[in-house]
Chain A
Amino acid sequence: MLSADAVESGLARYRAQLDEALVRYLPDREPRKYLYDLVRSYPSRSGKGLRPALCMATAAAFGGDPARAVASATAIELFHNAFLIHDDIEDGSDLRRGLTCLHREHGVALALNAGDAILALAVRPILDNLQLLGPALTFAVASEIEHMVVQSVEGQAIELGWIRENDCSQETGDYLEMCLKKTCWYTAIHPCRIGALIGSGGTIDPNRLNRFGYFLGAAFQIQDDLLNLVGERGSYGKEIGGDLLEGKRTLMLIHTLNMSGVRDKAWLQHFLDRPREQRSEKEARRVLELMQEHGSIEFGRQCSRFLAGAALNEFYETYGCLPDTPDRRFVHDLVLYMIRRKL
């Protein structure tokens, strides 16, 4: 039986450890107004802290002290926040975690620079691992993070390329590949791999965590995209329908493009071919109607559930032999919690 309260209190517990670390790693000095106030903006907003929580919980589930994973979890969270700032600029978004996006509040130049600063600040906790974990494990974690960052920017490039070229030829497999690169490595696979490496003292083969992290990350991303289409603004934190206006290639949009007849597909391609400013909300509503007509929303829901089921299966394969601890239970419950987020 899933307890949403237990997951949320677990998230809050890991979040508190993360916040303590963030205070140490985010400078409180000049220039505040044009840099460090901006740097602190996204990390201080009420994010779930999913990635650091997965990292710390996995470290504890594999028998380690979660405190030994805090620096690595902080680095992951900092990279995530830097990506968010840059993504919001690239996508022309308005809202992030319920508040105005950084570039809308302070302009593109300062927001970009704050994102760069966070990327630089994320290096320090990786270096601090040297004292905490020793050279071999520090290098292993640094390699994980390097792979994570490269994969994420490659995934983002693939999606931006589709939008730029107005490429509407994607199929489900293309989406899954892009989603793996853009989201799954840094949202779930690497947090779990790093947690397992630290928790086991480097004795576990981190490849054992790949499938679990991938299925969980993809289920999470599809659910997030569904929330953007049909969620409640209050609980979602971003503009509902924003992905439609951005022309984001979600699984649901790809499904609709593939299911539409010639006329509807031509209309969709024309809609997607224009810059965001020239797409109207009325047109975005029409895209949503087409999605409903072709069963794309239900298709997305079902895929998300399939992936969550596969993630649970992998959980038993990978975490099943570990002692039943609150941290292990947290990872288990997180799988269903992610796909039951309010639609």
Chain B
Amino acid sequence: MSKSTAPDPAELASQATIFIKKAASVLEKEVAAGIVAAQSLEKRLIDVDGIRSRSPDELMQRFRRDAHDLVDVVIDLVALGVRSAETIAERAVEVAKEGEGPDKGRPQQSREQAKKPKRP
């Protein structure tokens, strides 16, 4: 399929078949590797029909379990938020206290820095 200027039709057809078969095998290999994996992920994440076909009790149980998990997560987040707020408030009070002290105007140390022993 290179230097010959006008190959006969049978030769051309043979060349075309070989080339297209080669191309098709490249595609098949790639499709087997990639798209199938993507589709199975999609099926796993959105199985609407599968969910609909289950019994209402099972669906309700699943909802309760999910809802319960969700409540736990929210409680954890609130607790974390409260703890963070307390810490921030503590720090704010400390910074404010330090700001009123004799070192007012100087860069402030954090509590951890302040506790560190100074180098001899």
- A residues sitting closer than 8 Å to B (CB atoms) are 135-136, 139-140, 143, 146-147, 151, 172-173, 176-177, 180-181, 207, 210-211, 214-215, 218, 255, 259, 294-296, 298-299, 302-303, 306-307, 309-310
Contact = CB atoms under 8 A, between A and B. Distances in A.
B26 A176 contact: yes
6 contacts: A136-B48, A207-B31, A215-B20, A303-B1, A307-B20, A310-B20
Given A295-B4, A303-B19, A307-B23, 7 more contacts: A135-B48, A180-B26, A180-B27, A259-B2, A298-B5, A306-B20, A310-B24
Interface of B: 1-5, 15-16, 19-20, 22-24, 26-27, 30-31, 34-35, 38-39, 41-42, 45-46, 48
A181 B31 CA distance: 11
Given A210-B27, A210-B31, A295-B3, A140 B42 contact: yes
Consensus secondary structure, chain A interface: helix
A181 B26 CA distance: 10
Contacts of B16: 306, 309-310
Contacts of B46: 135-136, 139
Contacts of A215: 20, 23
Contact of A172 (B22, B31, B48): B22
A210 B42 CA distance: 18
Q: Which of A176, A306, A307, A310 has the most CB of B within 10 A?
A: A306
A268 B3 CA distance: 19
